[in-house]
Amino acid sequence: MLEQHTKTKILIAAAELISLQGYYNVSVREICEAAGVTKPVLYYYFKDKEDVLAELINESSVRFKELIDKHIKPDSPFEEKLEGLFNVYVSFAKKYPYLIRISVLAQLLPLPEKIKSLTSKRTDESREIITAIFEEGREKNYFKKDIDIEMLVYSLIAPFGIFIAQTILFGNNVQPLKVNLKKYFEFWKSQFLNKEK
């Protein structure tokens, strides 16, 4: 348990520093100081700074998938899955702000090619899970048959991402975030869900 706590302290410190200063402007020494550990402790868990960042990207994907498993049951009706997806985003923002910071900035900051590639891969994996849910909705006539599922997915998750990023990066609390996400979610459903359902 102590080992996991130490590793998490390093990851949180790295995420905070990298999100504020950029990957190339942060040293291993600074991460160690912020985490309250020595360099040998950091190197016990990670090969180097790039490995720390890769772990953050992977952890973000793992935590997102855990929340999907918690909030979206495979045999539940589509509307419950859609509500579950909303809860996934709210829970992720509430529980893992440091992962959101690094996920947002991994899309925008100059980073090693290996990290950019890993970020793209993990983002695609999460989007595929959501796409499968939406395809099920189309099959069950919750959306028009000819709707572009890829664009439909982006029409929900891109604004969610913007609301969450603004809240986390600019330090607003989660309650208004949930209100704003819910407001947009209701708007989105009114635009895209079949009224007959």
Contact 166, 172 (CB under 8 A): yes
What is the per-residue pLDDT across 97-138, written as a single tens digit (0 to 9) for each?
889 888 888 888 888 999 999 999 999 999 999 999 999 999
- Kindly state the DSSP code that residue 189 receives in the 8-state scheme: H
Give yes or no for residue 81 having a pLDDT over 90: yes
* Distance of alpha carbon 94 from the chain centroid: 11
Residue 50: what pLDDT?
96
- pLDDT band for 149, please (50, 70, 90 cuts): very high
- Tell me what the mean pLDDT of segment 144-152 comes to: 95
Buried-exposed string 50-88: b where 16+ CB fall within 10 A, e elsewhere:
eebbbbbbebbbeebeebbeebbeeeeebeebbbbbbbb
Residue 153: name the closest of 107, 97, 89 by CA: 89
Model pTM? Answer: 0.89
Mean pLDDT for all residues in the chain: 91
Q: Above pLDDT 90, what percent of the chain?
A: 76
The pLDDT score that the predictor gives to residue 169 is 73
For range 138-165, the mean pLDDT: 94
Which of the listed CATH numbers 3.10.350.10, 3.40.50.720, 3.40.50.300, 1.10.357.10 matches domain 2-192?
1.10.357.10
Q: What confidence tens digit (pLDDT) does each residue in 3-16 have? A: 679 999 999 999 99
Task: Domain ranges for the chain, please list them.
Answer: 2-192
Percent of the chain whose pLDDT exceeds 70:
95
